[in-house]
Structure 1
Amino acid sequence: MARVIKAHITGNVWKIEVKVGDRVEEGTVVAILESMKMEMPVEAEDEGTVKAILVEEGKPVKEGEAIVELD
């Protein structure tokens, strides 16, 4: 069953830290968002394999928007 990791703040995607096929554990940083000149890591809340990257570096995201899909 696919699960998604969501942005916890509104900001810009500064860096994607994973790629499709990577295995992640709970707490793995999957992306870093920039908001108000601060870098905010987005961590996996569960373990799984990265199925899809749903955002691009440098693009804005809204709070609650899906960033990464896990298998």
Structure 2
Amino acid sequence: MAEVHAEMVANVWKVVVQEGDEVSEGDTLVILESMKMEIPVLAEDAGVVVQLKVTEGEVIQEGHLIAVIE
């Protein structure tokens, strides 16, 4: 199981995956926006998204859990 956390304070601009989706290492899970820059959050491991903890438009803090991949 791999947890994906935010590396900075940001807005969730776009959610690319849904719970139950299969992802490969390097796939984009969500796109964050901070200081007018779009920052893709990538899957570090292949697997299935079992939890998605963000919604579009939400402001998240550094360390916030974004997704869990099994």
Q: Same fold (TM over 0.5)?
A: yes
1:1-71 alignment, distance < 5 Å? 2-71=1-70
TM-score w.r.t. length of structure 2: 0.92
Contact map agreement 1:8 1:42 (CA 8 A) in 2? no
Give me the CA root mean square deviation.
0.9
| C-alpha displacement of 1:34 | 0.4
Deviations 1:8-57 (A, max 9, x none): 22100001110111111111000000001110000011111000110111
2:67 and 2:29 mapped to 1: Cα distance? 8
| SS, match of residue 55 in structure 2 | coil
TM-score w.r.t. length of structure 1: 0.91
Count of residues in correspondence between the two structures: 70
2:8 and 2:43 mapped to 1: Cα distance? 15
What 5-or-longer segments of structure 2 have no aligned partner?
none
Q: Supply the AA of the counterpart residue of 1:13.
A: V
